[in-house]
């Protein structure tokens, strides 16, 4: 584990977040003709849970940030002048949905877009998750060439069939979420060993993302 993770876990997390953001930007450009993501589309924003390091990064940002201008909330991936079919995407209901992220406005826009967690930055893009297998004794099987399953947003990749997904995303790019999560978990473990991390002693695992007023 690098020295910066041990000595400055929040800085290490922010550096990782910046690298993921660069990858997201690259994939957003690559899949531009497919993406329908825009301000107010919150279908991916369900039951968001984060680790203490992610919550601490957001807390620090909130403590120092002034009120965001409306244009900074929920930036869209749709080019200016274009729109999407709202009958397909829908909006965040004013009546509320308990499974929806607490950081959403009533119209579905994100109130912490600039500092949103890593998982939120990957929404709408193709994600690869490793398939874990176990033997009869419950021991995890560790193959040399592990299998991955792809997840993607049906609103963005409507015509993509399951049988064609692996070849399509292998060629065009996807985000290895197991690799991302492993790095976040390592940074989080280091953070929990710090005085700031001790404040999260009772909440050491993933927890719902909540407003921090």
Give pLDDT, residue 43.
87
Q: What is 144-167 written as a DSSP string? A: SS--EEEE--TTTSTT--HHHHHH
Q: Is the pLDDT of residue 163 over 70?
A: no
Helices 177-192, 52-64: crossing angle, 10 deg rounding: 80
CA atoms of 200 and 181, how far apart (whole Å): 19
Q: Give the pLDDT score at 38.
A: 87
Using 50, 70 and 90 to split pLDDT, how confident is the model at 212?
A: low
pLDDT tens digits, one per residue of 40-93: 888 888 878 899 999 999 989 988 775 444 444 444 443 444 333 333 333 323
Residue 96 has pLDDT above 50, yes or no: no
Return the pLDDT at 175. 93
pLDDT score recorded for residue 63: 84
Q: How far apart are CA 28 and CA 127, in angstroms?
A: 13
Cα 203 to Cα 4, 25, 84, 156: the distances in Å are: 23, 32, 39, 35
Distance of CA 117 to CAs 148, 164, 168, 194, 211, Å?
23, 30, 27, 21, 13
The model carries a pTM of 0.75
- Inter-residue contact 186 to 6 (CB < 8 Å): no
Please say if the pLDDT value at position 98 is more than 80.
no
What local confidence, expressed as pLDDT, does residue 66 receive?
A: 52
Token digits of residue 34: 């497919």
Helix (H) or strand (E) segment spanning residue 134: strand 133-134
Over residues 159-177, the mean pLDDT reads 77
Q: What is the DSSP letter of 125?
A: S
Q: What is the mean pLDDT of residues 164-175?
A: 77
Three-class DSSP category at 91: coil
Residue 14, token pair as written in the block: 């922010």
- The distance in angstroms from the start CA to the end CA of the chain is 34
> Tens of pLDDT along 110-162?
989 999 999 999 999 999 888 877 777 878 777 777 777 888 888 888 877 76
Question: What pLDDT does 56 receive?
Answer: 93
To which residue do tokens 């700031």 refer? Answer: 196
Beta bridge partners, 170, equal none
Q: What is the DSSP letter of 35?
A: -
């Amino acid at each position: 584990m690098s020295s910066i993770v041990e000595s400055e876990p929040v800085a290490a997390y922010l550096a990782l977040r910046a690298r993921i953001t660069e990858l997201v930007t690259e994939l957003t450009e690559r899949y531009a003709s497919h993406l329908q993501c825009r301000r107010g589309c919150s279908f991916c924003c369900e039951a968001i849970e984060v680790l203490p390091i992610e919550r601490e990064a957001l807390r620090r940002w909130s403590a120092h940030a002034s009120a965001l201008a409306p244009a900074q909330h929920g930036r869209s991936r749709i080019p200016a002048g274009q729109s999407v079919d709202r009958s397909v995407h829908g909006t965040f209901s004013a009546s509320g949905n308990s499974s929806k992220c607490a950081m959403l406005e009533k119209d579905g826009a994100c109130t912490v877009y600039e500092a949103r967690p890593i998982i939120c930055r990957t929404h709408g893009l193709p994600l690869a998750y490793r398939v874990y297998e176990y033997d009869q004794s419950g021991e995890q099987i560790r193959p040399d060439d592990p299998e991955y399953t792809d997840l993607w947003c049906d609103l963005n990749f409507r015509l993509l069939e399951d049988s064609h997904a692996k070849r399509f995303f292998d060629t065009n790019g996807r985000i290895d979420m197991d690799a991302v999560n492993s790095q976040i978990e390592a940074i989080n473990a280091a953070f929990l060993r710090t005085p700031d991390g001790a404040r999260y002693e009772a909440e050491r695992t993933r927890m719902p993302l909540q407003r921090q007023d």
